Structure formats: C-alpha cells, structure tokens
A and B are shown apart, each in its own frame.
Chain A
C-alpha cells in the first residue's frame, strides 16, 4: 500500500475531481485549514536553525496543537510587518492597491490543479492583507471584519504556514495583475514574518543550512565534489573517448563557473553537468569550478531577503579570491532570479571583475556589464551564432523536444529566445507547447520555492497538472518525447510530473542536448550519448553483427 509521499498513492481520476466554481459555503475567514498529509511540508529542524542563528530553534510538528511560538509572538509579527512596510514599497503598495478583480484567480497552477480558493493569488494575499488592515489601516480599525480585517491569531499563523508554503513564487499571477501585484513578493514577506517566530519548512531551511556551511544545498564537501565529478569524467570518457581534467578553485582562471548543485548528483541533472564539462573542454575555456562557491542555487530566496545575501556572498567573494575575470552561470531557475535581480544589489559592486567578453567570439556581454555574470544559454547562443561549435543536430534526431520556460528566467529575466535558438540549433525536431503555457505565461513545475519534497506529493502533482497537461498535448500531437528545461529544480520535479501526467516524456537540460549534438575534437567513434544510451543510427555495428 503506497503512502501519501509516494506517487502511487494518488489516483488520477480522484485528483482530477476539482470544482473551481463551488467554493465552501463558509466565508474564507471562517474556513479552517484541511491539514491532510501530502499537502503540507514538515517543519525546519532545530539543528538547521541553530547553524544559521535563526530564532526559536526547537522540534515541533505541524500536527501539534502547540507550535511552541515565542511568548510575544504577536508583537514580533506585527513589529516585523511594520518594519517591512517601511522598508519595501512593494509590500506597502501590494497591501493597498488590490481591487480583487479576480484576474489572477485561475492563473495559479495550484488553484487550477487543486481548486482550493485560498490558492487563488488574490486570496493568498488576503490572508496577510486582512491582518494588515486590522492593525495598519483606518478602515480596518474602524470597520473590522466588514472592511476585510481580522485579528492575528495562532490559527491565522498556521493558515499562513499552510498557504504560503503552497506558493512557488513563480510570479505567473503578476503577469496578469493590472497593478503588477506580485504574489511572490507577498509570499516572501509572509515567510520572513513566520521566520521571525522560528517557523520554517525543513525542505527549504536544511538546504539553506547546508549551503551556508558547504557552499551547496546538498552538503557536498570539497572531496565529495571531486569524487562526484570524477565519476562523471569516467562516464564522459566511456561515451566519447575524451579524458578531461576538471579545474577546481583554480586561481587566475578567466571564468568562474557556477552551476546549481542539483546537477552534481541526480539524473537527469548529471548529464547536463557532464555537458558543461565537455563543452568547456571542447572550447578550451579557461574556467574553474569552486568547491566553496559550488552552488548558485539559493534557497535563501525562499527564506528571507537577508538569507539571499548571506548565501550569495560567496560567489563574488570567490571570484575575487581566485582572480577570475567574469562569472558564468549554469542552468538553474531561482539561482538566476538571484543572480539577475539580487546579486549586484546585495553583494556588489563587482568592480574587481571585467565586463564579460567571450574569448572565442569577442562578443562583449553588455547586458551583464555591471554584475559580470552571464547565463550559459547566452554564452552558447553567441557561440553557435558565430559558428564556433561543430554541431551535428542529427545525433539528436531520435529526440522530439519541447521547451519548458522556467519561471524565474522567464518572468524575472525574460530569457526566451536564447534557449530556443540553442535548442533549435542542436535538435531538428522542436515543438512549442500551447502559447498560454510558455514564455511569460509559463507554468511552474509545482515544486519550486522549497516545495519539491515528497511529503508534499499531492500538491506537487496538483501544481504540476497545467504543465503536465501541456506536455501531454504536444506528446499526443507531435510525438514529443523530451522536455528540455534550464532549471535544476525542474530537472528534479518535472520527472515526477511527466511520469504522472505525461508518461513517456523524459526531462533533459539544454547543455545535455548541446553536448550530444557536438562533434568533439578527438572523440572516438560515437555510439552512445551522455546517458550511455545508444544513439539511433550510430549504434555499435559490432554488437549489431552486420559489420561490412
């Protein structure tokens, strides 16, 4: 018998019994949280809070009546709100300007796949806004509930914990809001406020603690990283005959390469990591990995603004220590929200680096002239445009690929054409998903922002439904068998989503596709791709027994 943290526990037809138009009879303020296993995430463990010097470390369970909040919890939250309302225009403005037009309601993947009205972005925000009104607005103070205001109680805090950890901060709703209200922003503040009470989810705060100490979310120590990449070097040699060296913490390298750590350990991310190493070797790029800045992913983004800065500081620090010229970032979604929208402000100025310039094409990346960090698909697109890669896209002819725009690169950067240009250059069979599900309207994988854990499986499957349905659409229409993405969380969670909603579709990174289409200098007669699977049409003729 499967358990609630296993996919097999969930029957598709049962999950699909969703009625969006029959909200509960009771008003939302009077509707209690349904704490069913599979729909919430376990609390942060005391040891992780202690590593980070966060308040109120203790062991507790979501199902406990007493969450062991500090004595003056209410004062802490209200003072925390007052402080943030003064420090962030976004917070103050987004509390004030919503007109509840409902345009955002059916834009959230959790609402589409789950139907819980509190997963409508507007209502998610009202969970916080109602408290704001009560304590910070004249109308709320005078009219109370009539003005949509309510008292801050322990039950409200618990409701926050449930619903603000059912938001993946994907910002899809903010595309549709006529006032640009960004629920990611609201969720970030709600999580910060809960954090003041020591309320975190372990799936986010343990990676944060790891990242703080080890430089990466997965707690890979330096020697572990060397071992891990050595395994990949062996696999690369088996597939291509190329024996490559991996540079670690190399002083004076031209480029510091920062991947997400998800690419070090699990398939299909490891194939993308192998692709990085192979492509840099092929180009002769003077680069280095860092064991200290071994990760650009930053679960601080899902914790607090301060934590973004604490975790991200290592990147510029390491670039400075090693004396590199500029930074190249791998395929990761939320990492790129941090690198693009936060890093220069938090940890800059990066005046010790040079404006990034491709050593192979001479292209100066003007769009990164201040932060000095370039996205790997920008780097590859430029190389391909200048004919610097020896590509044979037919090696990917057995792949019929579609592209999933990851939330953060889409809606916090707008990097749409580069990945498409790269994919189309290395794959002959590319098909777009429906337009309401790609580019700025792209759907989340359902497991971003710290929600990609198995105990949250019901919500992951529900949240993954819109993406999964779009994948299945192109699977049925065009025979799509691979979903490319440039995000490590996607590579972890979309495997589950595709297996469930579009079985038969595999997940791949873009660099994996690039490497598989590249004719490497000095490669052996190729029969296998980076997954060590036979390449159709190039199979080992010895095994087939039809050698001429």
Chain B
C-alpha cells in the first residue's frame, strides 16, 4: 500500500509536469496554459478555501474544550502560564501567534524509547520542527519574492526580502537561501516519511503527493532561474498582464515563454486546485482549532451551547420516592415525610 502511494503520487506529479511542458510546446496553447488555466486554478483555490473555512466556521463550538498546557488562572499568588493556558484575548492571541508562526506545539516534540527492563527514555526531538519551520518560512519568502513578477515597480518590502534572501551572493543570478532551505526541508520531510517506520506506516497518497508536488515546483523553479534562465521579462509581462487583467498583453507574452516555464506554472496551478481539497487546508484550519483558540475561562464565564436541548434526567423527587423509607430509617432528611 505504501509503495503504491509513493509511486502513484510521484507518477502523478511527473505527469502533471509533462502536461504543462507539452502545453508550453503546443503552438497556440500559450493562452490556455498561461492565461485560462491559471485563472481557473486561482478561482478554484479561492472558492474552495473560502468554502472550507465557511463550513468550519459555520459549525458551532458547543463546548469550550481548551487543551491547557500550563498553570490555570486561579489564586492571585499562583503564577499563571498566560500563553500556554490563556484566560484573556491577548493570551489567546499570543498562544495562536506562537502556534501559527513558530509551531509551538511541535516544538515540544519528544522521542520516546523503551529500553531494557522497562525503562522509558524521552529525548527532545526537533527534526520535524526544524524541517517544518524551514519549509513553511522559506515557502512564504518564496511566495513574497514572486510578488516582484506581478507588480511594477517592485514594492520596497519585496526588494528588501530579495536582498536579505540573497545575502550569500553565490552564482549569477544570485542563489536565494530560501530556495536552498525549501528544497532541503522538503527532501528531509520526504526522507523522514520514507525512512521512519512509524511515519511510513501512517502515510497516505495525499502525504506523498503534496511533497512531490512542492518538490516539483521548487526544482522546476530552480531550473528556470539558474539553469535554463528563462525569459524573465516575458514572464513578468505575463504575470503583470494576469494581475491587471490585460489579457492581450498576457497572451502576447505567453507565446514568447519557453515550455519549461509551463511545466512549473502548471504544477503551481495543480497545487492551487489541490490545496482546498486536501490536507493542505491545515493552513487556515489551525486558526480555528478549538483546543487552542479558546481561553480557559470555563468556570469564570459561561459558555453557551447554541443547540442545547433538554434531556431526560432522574429527578430528586423520583429518587426520594424510591428510597424515602430507607432514608428516614438512616436519619437522612426527606422532603415528604
């Protein structure tokens, strides 16, 4: 099952790349692969993601089920863990910021090992946290860097990011740190999924496909910048054309760009379409997680369940009716003598 998942997901990504490549080769297909498909993919992404988030948001949170990871707010002389067990909005905002920006929970990760004689050893295990941080942050930087393609002139913060990201000043054009981190992190995440028995056993097609797709995008992007050196002027014309809905200009530019670019672009389109359908929705999902985004104020402030309904209970009257004589004999006060 696992080998199938790996091979099928790899084959699917290769196939998608080839479709894009062939699309770029086909004469007159530039408009389809450079204009129509990107617009469609973006539409699916936005509509799909909004639909997902609205579906989650539309489901009520009947109970306040915070997972508390530190000291509660109780007596005034006991120090509360305001971020790991928040009781106010700033605390929750801080907890969520740590979770979203720095993967706080993953940072706690340990590896447990059962040793001879029933001893259990725990060691800090930061590989996954480092891999995840490197991947997500470099992806963010790469996306921001790509803004230079759709905006003219390049916004100052994008230029700044580019400058910092390229501080190594290796090769021409400059090799970005984010590129290296992105590919290395993905390679690590793929390696651990394949090499670690526990993770391999739980992995699905979805897990490999997302990794191969992102790797495909990263590698083809690297190739376009550093090896094939694509016609960046034409790419920018296309991107600006798409962003400003100048379809004529976009179509003109699309015809001048080499096929490899379309392999890259088609994978990006595939990612956009795949995103709302897959586990990648964890990105908006994390913001809604009720174990993290609720203050632990359960005894301070009443939480209302919007669909609460009456239930059948065993009343005191029924209880006393059943036991009255025994209660009286034992000296337990009763309502009806």
**Chain B contacts for A437, CB-based, 8 A:** 122
Are A321 and B296 neighbours in the complex by a CB distance under 8 Å? no
Could you tell me the distance in whole angstroms from the C-beta of A137 to the nearest C-beta in chain B? 8
Picked from A98, A368, A501, the residue with its CB within 8 Å of the CB of B279 is A98
Query: In the complex where A101-B132, A291-B332 touch, is A410 in contact with B68 (Cβ < 8 A)?
Result: yes
A122 close to chain B: CB less than 8 A: yes
Q: Assess whether A415 is interfacial by the CB under 8 Å rule.
A: yes
- For residue A486, CB closer than 8 A to chain B, the reply is no
Residue B203 interfacial (CB < 8 Å):
yes
**A363 touches B (CB below 8 Å):** yes
Interface code B310-337, partner A: CB below 8 Å = 1, 0 otherwise?
0111111001101100110111110000
CB distance from B72 to the nearest CB of A (A): 4
Tell me if A117 and B106 are in contact (CB < 8 A): no
List, in ascending order, chain B residues with CB within 8 A of A185's CB.
65, 291
> In the complex, what residue of chain B is closest to A468 when comparing beta carbons?
B118
Cβ contact within 8 Å between B63 and A342 = yes
Dominant SS among interface residues on chain A: helix
Most A C-beta atoms less than 10 A away, residue of B56, B74, B279: B74
CB distance from B213 to the nearest CB of A (A): 14
The distance from the CB of B329 to the nearest CB of chain A, in whole angstroms, is 6
Given contacts A22-B197, A146-B5, A412-B68, contact A123 B314 (CB under 8 A): no
Contact of A381 among B61, B78, B285, B332 (CB under 8 A): B78
Is the CB of A299 closer than 8 A to any CB of chain B?
no
Question: How does the 8 Å CB contact mask read for B77-110 relative to A, with 1 for contact and 0 for none?
Answer: 1110100110000000000000100010110111
Chain B residues near A418: list those with CB within 8 A: 74-75, 78
Q: How many Å lie between the Cα of A128 and that of B17 in the bound state?
A: 34
Residue of A nearest to B291 (CB): A180
CA distance A4 to B300 in the complex (A): 47
B202 within 8 A of A: yes
Which listed residue, B8, B81, B282, touches A146 by the CB 8 Å rule?
A: B8
Pairwise interchain contact A411-B68, C-beta atoms closer than 8 A: yes
Chain B contacts of A371 at CB under 8 A?
298-299, 302
Query: A501 — which chain B residues lie within 8 A by C-beta?
Result: 118
B67 contacts the other chain (Cβ, under 8 Å)?
yes
Which of A85, A89, A138 is B61 in contact with, Cβ under 8 Å? A89
Contact B300 A366 (CB under 8 A): yes
Task: For chain B, residues 286 to 312, give those with C-beta under 8 angstroms from any C-beta of chain A.
Answer: 286, 288-292, 296, 298-305, 307-308, 311-312
* Surface stretch bound by B, among A247-255, A273-281, A391-399: A247-255
Please name all residues of chain B whose beta carbon is closer than 8 Å to the beta carbon of A473 when the two chains form the complex.
Answer: 119
| Residue contact A411 to B302, C-beta cutoff 8 Å | no
User: Which B residues, 1 to 37, have Cβ-Cβ distances below 8 Å to chain A?
Assistant: 1-2, 4-5, 8
Is the CB–CB distance between A112 and B311 below 8 Å? Answer: no
Tell yes or no: A532 within 8 A of B by CB.
no
Across the A-B interface, how many residue pairs have beta carbons closer than 8 Å? 326
Smallest CB separation, A220 vs chain B (Å) = 11
A403 to B66, CA, bound (A): 23
Contact present for B313 and A310 (CB under 8 Å): yes
Within the complex, the shortest CB–CB distance from B38 to chain A, in Å, comes to 22
Could you list some 30 contacts between A and B, CB below 8 A?
A18-B114, A106-B112, A120-B202, A123-B202, A126-B202, A139-B278, A143-B205, A147-B205, A176-B110, A180-B67, A180-B105, A213-B314, A250-B333, A310-B312, A310-B313, A321-B316, A341-B66, A370-B301, A370-B302, A371-B298, A381-B78, A382-B75, A412-B66, A413-B72, A414-B68, A417-B79, A421-B78, A437-B122, A465-B118, A473-B119
What residues of chain A have their CB less than 8 Å away from a CB belonging to chain B? 12, 16, 18, 20-23, 26-30, 53, 85-93, 96-103, 105-107, 112-113, 117, 120, 122-123, 126, 137-139, 143, 146-148, 171, 174-182, 185, 212-213, 215, 221-223, 226-227, 248-251, 291-292, 305-306, 309-310, 313-314, 317-318, 321, 340-342, 344-346, 348-349, 363, 365-371, 373, 378, 381-382, 385, 410-418, 421, 434, 436-437, 439-441, 465-466, 468-470, 472-473, 501
Residues on B lying within 8 angstroms of A by beta carbon are 1-2, 4-5, 8, 52, 55-57, 59-75, 77-79, 81, 84-85, 99, 103, 105-106, 108-112, 114, 117-120, 122, 128, 132, 196-199, 201-207, 277-279, 281-282, 285-286, 288-292, 296, 298-305, 307-308, 311-316, 319-320, 322-323, 326-327, 329-333
Given contacts A176-B106, A470-B120, 4 further A-B contacts (CB under 8 A): A97-B281, A292-B320, A341-B63, A349-B302
